[in-house]
Structure 1
Amino acid sequence: MNTICALCGTPLMDIDMSVGKNKLADGGYLCAGCFTKAISINRELINNLDQFYFAEITGMMLKSKIDASQNPGGTQFSGNSRYKYDAPTRLDEIKDQIVALNARLSVLANEEVNELANVLDRDERLLAIAEGIDLQSNREGIIFSTQRRILFIDKKFLGGIVKNEFLIHDISSIDHIENLLYSILQINTYRGSAQFKLHNKNDGRAFSNIQNRSTSYNENELKQNSSPFQAFAQTIPDLVEENVYSIDKGDSGAIFEQLEKLGKLRETGILTDEEFAEQKKKLLDKL
């Protein structure tokens, strides 16, 4: 038998499978130890575990850990067994965010999920997450977004991870096409594009408004910049890379493109009307 426990990752033995009723809704199984811990938290799981997904079970366990940390003297019992819970770890926090997003990840994504604690910075928060395939490399893993970036990671069989990263300020647009059983997520940047096949056809919707949510999330940080131009440069760094102030005179296409981006910065409140007018005049003088 080569099936592993969906929670602890240990190989399942015949004795684990003899428990019965230890199968999850997404097809994973719990070992006898994890099954006992689960029903100690919610006795109803002994009869209807197959109606719950992996993320829902981990959410229940995380809630129990949080409750126990708020009541250090408290313990939980199941028969003669006694369980003690530690304070939630960074990985626990991340798994709690996954539960809050109603993400439907299979047990095959467990290795990548566990790696998130090493990949994400302390202040990064998940805004969307899905399981899928990078169509360029044909590697299977998880794709997720925070307020700063979108990443695809695949945990290698012999250790290490493969990453494909897109910073939010480098993304020009995000498109997704839903098919009958899956969806295609396309991330367009100013330097090219990448496509990902998502196993759940509805998962692409969560990524479609990432840019707006990320801009709102970082709004206070942007306002703390020491000058309006720094806010302008941090939000649209590709403008700085292209050196908008040295655009060849008469290059109308590039100038109109920069004018459009300036307009978006004014609409979001990052540039004032006066700042917008000043930058606009510099660009129009080159026509």
Structure 2
Amino acid sequence: MNTICALCGTPLTETDLSVGKNKLADGGYLCTECFTKAITINKNLINNLDQFYFAEITGMILKSKIEASQNSGGFQSNSHYEYDAPTRLDEIKDQIVALNARLSVLANEEVNELANVLDRDERLLAVAEGIDLQSNREGIIFSTQKRVAFIDKKFLGGIVKNEFLLQDISSIDHTENLLYSILKISTPRGGAQFKLHNKNDGRVFSNVQNKGTAYNENGFMQNSSPFQAFAQTLPDLVEENVYSAVQKDPEAIFEQLEKLGRLRENGILTDQEFAEQKKKLLDQL
């Protein structure tokens, strides 16, 4: 069993472990404080938290933040919840949620370490859980507008890191197998291979860097809008039919509206792009 809270990363106490209803579907646990925050947002979680994954709980918190900020500009909701100012780690976790990354609770320590690894101006373009086949260490692989890197948090502190600047990478390729994919990074001086636990994750990384493509200081392809760059570097999001007129299930459309809200909050979509895509989704109801 994990000994740290899946949300805030603080060590779990005997009191936290005695709650009995604070276990997530992916095996992680919430400390008493985070559990209280979660059930304040959704009272039903007090009885069925074990049916929800870490990413879903984080999504609920993000949605509540958006609603809270909207309420503060007009009327005050009776269920308004006060939040502390978001930390760098909060921003990173929001980016992970926006990417629809499927990380298990085993990656929590590496996710928390990203706040120390990433520069302030770096934004996650892809992140996945996997194994560095050269060192046989397990951790997370991520890409930003500057680099592709692997990190593994050591048991006794410190991290193992293997990174490649985008400007030095000659190619990023992936091979899909039945249950996983192999990501291969090549540079003039060598490279690395990673086994990604989710076979679809390799597609995202292989599209992050295109040979001969220029990136601006914000990490977006030059001569393209942030929305176009995001769609080009994250094909899995497009494959989910986020903006497809074929999707007609109201619940699925609501989920896509939540994704749009996260993209706008993270600065990936402008207000105009958000409004256009929101209208397309609402027209399907």
Question: Cα deviations across residues 150-205 of structure 1 (Å, max 9, x unaligned)?
Answer: 01111222322221111111111111122222221111111112111111122111
State whether residues 171 and 210 of structure 2, in contact with CA within 8 Å, keep that contact through their aligned partners in structure 1. Answer: no
Runs of 5+ unmatched residues, structure 2? 223-285
Aligned to 2:6: 6
2:135 is the counterpart of 1:155: no
What pairs with 1:8-27 in structure 2 (closer than 5 Å)? 8-12=8-12, 15-27=15-27
Superposition misfits of 4+ residues, deviation over 6 angstroms: 72-78, 219-223
2:154 is the counterpart of 1:120: no
State whether residues 22 and 49 of structure 2, in contact with CA within 8 Å, keep that contact through their aligned partners in structure 1. Answer: yes
1:95 partner letter: K
Give the Cα separation in 2 of the matches to 1:31 and 1:220: 36
Aligned to 2:230: none
Q: Could you say if the C-alpha distance between residues 199 and 220 of structure 1 is closer, same or farther in structure 2, counting changes exceeding 3 Å?
A: closer
Give the Cα separation in 1 of the matches to 2:107 and 2:73: 32
2:39 is the counterpart of 1:39: yes
Q: Could you say if the C-alpha distance between residues 14 and 121 of structure 1 is closer, same or farther in structure 2, counting changes exceeding 3 Å?
A: closer
Could you tell me the TM-score, scaled by structure 2's length? 0.66
2:29 partner letter: Y
Give the Cα separation in 2 of the matches to 1:114 and 1:151: 15
Give the Cα separation in 2 of the matches to 1:216 and 1:25: 41
Aligned to 2:96: 98
Q: CA deviation at 1:211?
A: 1.0
Aligned to 1:86: 84
Aligned to 1:281: none
Aligned to 1:60: 60
Q: CA deviation at 1:58?
A: 2.0
How many residues align? The count is 221
2:22 partner letter: N
State whether residues 68 and 81 of structure 2, in contact with CA within 8 Å, keep that contact through their aligned partners in structure 1. Answer: no
Aligned to 2:184: 186
Aligned to 1:130: 128
Deviates more, 1:142-151 or 1:172-181: 172-181
Q: CA deviation at 1:209?
A: 0.6
RMSD in angstroms over aligned alpha carbons? 3.3
2:113 partner letter: E
Higher relative contact order (CA 8 A, sep 6+): 2
2:93 partner letter: K
Q: CA deviation at 1:67?
A: 4.7
State whether residues 132 and 140 of structure 1, in contact with CA within 8 Å, keep that contact through their aligned partners in structure 2. Answer: yes
SS of residue paired to 1:212: coil
Give the Cα separation in 2 of the matches to 1:69 and 1:9: 25
State whether residues 105 and 130 of structure 1, in contact with CA within 8 Å, keep that contact through their aligned partners in structure 2. Answer: yes
State whether residues 75 and 84 of structure 1, in contact with CA within 8 Å, keep that contact through their aligned partners in structure 2. Answer: no
1:169 partner letter: Q
State whether residues 181 and 200 of structure 1, in contact with CA within 8 Å, keep that contact through their aligned partners in structure 2. Answer: yes
Q: Could you say if the C-alpha distance between residues 213 and 86 of structure 1 is closer, same or farther in structure 2, counting changes exceeding 3 Å?
A: farther
Q: Could you say if the C-alpha distance between residues 22 and 76 of structure 1 is closer, same or farther in structure 2, counting changes exceeding 3 Å?
A: farther
SS of residue paired to 2:164: strand
1:151 partner letter: A
Runs of 5+ unmatched residues, structure 1? 224-287
1:52 partner letter: F
State whether residues 124 and 148 of structure 1, in contact with CA within 8 Å, keep that contact through their aligned partners in structure 2. Answer: yes
Give the Cα separation in 2 of the matches to 1:21 and 1:75: 30
Give the Cα separation in 1 of the matches to 2:53 and 2:41: 16
Give the Cα separation in 1 of the matches to 2:81 and 2:78: 6
Aligned to 1:201: 199
1:165 partner letter: E
Give the Cα separation in 2 of the matches to 1:89 and 1:198: 28
